[in-house]
Amino acid sequence: LQKILILLQVTLSVVVGKTLMILFPNAMKRYILKMGEKSRMNRNPKFSYENWGPTFFSFKYLQFVLKVKWKRLEDEAFEGHPAPNTPVVTLGGEVCHLLDFMKDNRPLILNFGSCT
C-alpha cells in the first residue's frame, strides 16, 4: 500500500512538473535553478543547467525517485531494534551493506560529510 501511495504521489508531481515546464519554461528554469542552489548543484561552473535541468520530471527522473523512495521504506530504524543493513557504495564503486563493516565487538562509527 505504501509503494502504491508513493507511486501516485511521485507520478502526480512528475506530471504536474512536466506540464509546468512545457507551459512556463522560463519560470520552471528559475525554480529548478533555485532548487539547485539549495543542493549546491549549480556551484560547479562546468555543470550548467542544460546538463541537468531538462532531466527533471522525465521518465528516468520518475524511475530514480521511485527507486530511492521505495528503498527508503526498507531502511526504517526503530529504537531498541537492530539497525537496518542499508546498501552503501564504496569510493571504489563496490556495492556492499553497512553491517559488512562490523568487526568483532567493536562499535561501528559512521561519519558523514561532504566535499564542496
Q: What is the DSSP string of the chain?
A: -HHHHHHHHHHHHHHHHHHHHHH-HHHHHHHHHHHHHHHTGGGSTTS-HHHHGGGTTSHHHHHHHHHHHHHHHTT---TTSPPP--EEE-TTS-EEEGGGG--TTPPP--------
Phi and psi dihedrals of 20, rounded to 5?
-65, -35
> Highest mean pLDDT range out of 12-16, 42-46, 51-55, 74-78?
12-16
What is residue 41's predicted lDDT score, i.e. its pLDDT? 67
What is residue 36's predicted lDDT score, i.e. its pLDDT? 73
Indicate whether this model's pTM tops 0.85: no
pLDDT tens, position by position, 14-39? 999 999 999 999 998 888 888 777 77
Extents of the domains making up the chain: 1-74
Higher pLDDT, 47 or 6: 6
What is residue 85's predicted lDDT score, i.e. its pLDDT? 82
